[in-house]
Chain A
Amino acid sequence: MSDQKKGTAEDTRVDQLGVTAKPPNLDDPRVVLSLLEADQVVAEKRQTRFGRRNLSLSLRMLLWGLRVYVVLMLVIVLIDVLRTLHLNP
């Protein structure tokens, strides 16, 4: 619920526009921009990227460990599938 309380004053202004106006004229870009957050606009998202994060040694080891885990487990599933097919040809 705390998320709803954040920025109430500013958001109320937007809401009042929404409720008092007729269905918005979405051909007007100002109306569209007033309804969306800045980084919700497709053109803006295309131009901006989150940068790479630093991967510490321990983080890289964790990711590699999980990768090895998945590969090993898939091999085990394959063994299981082959065994089942062998038992029930």
Chain B
Amino acid sequence: MTPEKDPSSTASFRPARPTTETAVSSSVSNELAGLLTHEDRDRARDRWRVMRARWRGAGRNPFPKISLLWLLIGPGVLVFLGENDAPSMLSYSATGARYGIGFFIPFMVLTFVMGFVVQEMTVRLGAVTHRGHAELIFDRFGKFWGLFAMGDLILGNFLTLVTEFIGVRAGLSYFGIRPVVSVGAALVLVMVVIATGRYWTWERITLGLAAFNALFVPAALLAHPNWGSVGHALVTWTPFPKGDEYEILTLMLSTIGATVTPWMLFFQQSAVVDKGMQPRDLAAGRFDTGLGALLAAIFGIAALLATAPLFQHGIDASQFQGLEFAQALKPWLGQIGSTLFALGIFEAGIVAAIAISTSSAYAFGEVFQTGHSLNRPLREGWAFYLVLLGSAFVAASLVLIPNVPLEFIVLTVNVIAVLAMPPALAFLLLLVNDREVMGDHVNGRWANIAGVTVTVLLICAGIGFGIATVFPKVLGG
């Protein structure tokens, strides 16, 4: 469980297990003072608040317990609401518009359960090892396999980041805002959020922005969905969509890719480390992850329900981009409903752009051993922030190219995310079963069964997509 000392290291400092009785002599403390970073102090401040809340919550009074949860939630809610991103919401919208209320609603619930299963493992990895996902893969599997994993991540992250800015552009174009202005404003917002130099502040601001993912709920209510049909679909998984089987398969893959993607693994583990979570916080970490999955499922289904009227009224939405959805929904959702929908797409894009660019920066810092914490001031963590902003800037620039088939890109990126997921899950399962890394926190039998099942399902879905693409006649195409 304890990592090995790097033999090339010249320093010999190793702090003791933290207890109040730990005596650190003053001569040593002077040496330590030089070694401690701004990041350590900020993280210690966060831990102090958690410890205080935990001690106060030891009694029967529920409020301190709520306070403790408030302090510890973050990475799980953020990762799931971040993954309810522009391509995901547009994918759910396309599903609702083309197939209405039916099979896809319980299918979405299943994908969020799958998401919870794998994300819970990243919480454990982060809280127990205090290392990011990329760092652990490089340490345990070496540079060769580490570079493959990073290649998948960087490619997937970049493509997804492009689609986030597509969402930003599509959402704000509803209000007549020019793409260059909307995308530029999104970049400025990303900069403002990271300029705080404090993980806690970054997390709270991003959580505040992510709360606007709930805008899809009133939009769905304005569509007056038939709740009996929703309940029937949830129980029976019917009606099963009819029509172009290839398109249905693509949408199924895209729906999985809207919930389970490699960036989520890397992001949540790094965020858990940056937040300073420890093994004793695991219960709260699971709650955080479960809450995130639940909220994201509700908001995702709301996006599907909001666009279901297009299916019921026979509107052909096959060529719709983000903006067209909001405009086409006006007769059923009204001005307010379609405005909420457009704002929701914008929000989905901006929160995910923040989370995904942060995920890339974390992974870069972990692999190249540069500072990789949002607790670092800009001058100390410049490489980290440069990767974060640089990836966002390049992705944003691509979105400004005119006449790009946005909806097609969105669905394709989600499909790529699913196809890149099995190797990422294999590394995750190997790490979380590695007793040298996890100690007593290794996966139990049921977690392994669930993890392997998710991996096999994703591989089968990918192979099905591959067969349908290469041999379209298999599906009657």
Give which listed residue, B54, B278, B369, contacts A46 with CB less than 8 A: B369
Q: Which residue from chain B places its CB closest to the CB of A85 in the assembled complex? A: B405
Give which listed residue, B47, B52, B131, contacts A45 with CB less than 8 A: B131
Chain A 68-82: CB-based contact to B (< 8 A → 1; otherwise 0): 011011101101110
Given contacts A41-B40, A52-B141, A69-B459, contact A88 B405 (CB under 8 A): yes
B18 contacts chain A at the CB level, 8 A cutoff: yes
Specify which of A49, A50, A74 lies most central, judged by the most chain B CB atoms within 10 Å of its CB.
Answer: A50
Give which listed residue, A15, A39, A74, A84, contacts B419 with CB less than 8 A: A74
Contact residues in B for A55 (Cβ distance below 8 Å): 141
Q: In the complex the two chains form, is A32's CB within 8 Å of B40's CB?
A: yes
Specify which of A13, A28, A80 lies most central, judged by the most chain B CB atoms within 10 Å of its CB.
Answer: A80
Q: In the complex the two chains form, is A74's CB within 8 Å of B3's CB?
A: no
Q: Which residue from chain B places its CB closest to the CB of A60 in the assembled complex? A: B145
Complex: A31 Cα to B437 Cα, angstroms: 27
- B163, chain A: closest CB distance, angstroms: 14
Q: Which residue from chain A places its CB closest to the CB of B152 in the assembled complex? A: A70
Given contacts A73-B466, A79-B470, contact A30 B19 (CB under 8 A): no
Contact residues in B for A19 (Cβ distance below 8 Å): 51-52, 55-56
Which A residues from 12 to 49 make CB contacts under 8 A with B? 12-19, 23-24, 26-49
Give which listed residue, A43, A69, A70, A80, contacts B412 with CB less than 8 A: A80
- B193, chain A: closest CB distance, angstroms: 23
Contact residues in A for B129 (Cβ distance below 8 Å): 39, 50
Complex: A4 Cα to B426 Cα, angstroms: 28
Chain B 411-428: CB-based contact to A (< 8 A → 1; otherwise 0): 010011001101100100
Given contacts A36-B40, A45-B131, A48-B4, contact A13 B469 (CB under 8 A): no
- Among B30-38, B165-173, B336-344, B350-358, the stretch that binds chain A is B30-38
Given contacts A18-B55, A19-B55, A40-B276, contact A47 B6 (CB under 8 A): yes
Q: In the complex the two chains form, is B22's CB within 8 Å of A33's CB?
A: yes
Complex: A76 Cα to B249 Cα, angstroms: 14
Q: In the complex the two chains form, is B13's CB within 8 Å of A3's CB?
A: no
- Among B215-223, B279-287, B305-313, B321-329, the stretch that binds chain A is B279-287
Complex: A48 Cα to B4 Cα, angstroms: 5
A86 contacts chain B at the CB level, 8 A cutoff: no
Contact residues in B for A84 (Cβ distance below 8 Å): 408
Complex: A26 Cα to B375 Cα, angstroms: 14
Given contacts A39-B130, A43-B11, A49-B6, contact A33 B419 (CB under 8 A): no
- Majority-rule SS of A interface residues: helix
Which B residues from 1 to 39 make CB contacts under 8 A with A? 2-6, 9, 11, 13-22, 24, 29, 32-33, 35-37, 39
Give which listed residue, A34, A46, A81, contacts B20 with CB less than 8 A: A34
- Majority-rule SS of B interface residues: helix
What band does the interface of chain A fall in when counting residues whose beta carbon is under 8 Å from B?
A: 35 or more
Contact residues in B for A59 (Cβ distance below 8 Å): 430
Contact residues in A for B43 (Cβ distance below 8 Å): 36, 40
Contact residues in B for A83 (Cβ distance below 8 Å): 469
**What are 19 A-B contacts with C-beta separation under 8 Å?**
A6-B280, A10-B19, A19-B55, A29-B33, A31-B44, A32-B41, A33-B16, A34-B18, A36-B43, A36-B276, A40-B43, A43-B11, A43-B13, A50-B3, A63-B426, A66-B422, A67-B423, A77-B416, A77-B469
Other than the given A33-B22, A84-B408, 19 more pairs (CB < 8 A) read A3-B282, A3-B283, A6-B280, A13-B19, A18-B48, A33-B18, A37-B130, A37-B278, A39-B2, A43-B37, A44-B14, A48-B3, A49-B4, A50-B140, A50-B437, A74-B416, A79-B469, A79-B470, A83-B469
Chain B interface residues toward A at CB < 8 A? 2-6, 9, 11, 13-22, 24, 29, 32-33, 35-37, 39-41, 43-45, 47-48, 51-52, 54-56, 58, 129-131, 136, 139-142, 145, 148, 152, 276, 278-280, 282-283, 369, 371, 373, 405, 408, 412, 415-416, 419-420, 422-423, 426, 430, 434, 436-437, 441, 459, 462, 465-466, 469-470
Chain A interface residues toward B at CB < 8 A? 1, 3-4, 6-7, 10-19, 23-24, 26-53, 55, 59, 62-63, 66-67, 69-70, 72-74, 76-77, 79-81, 83-84, 88
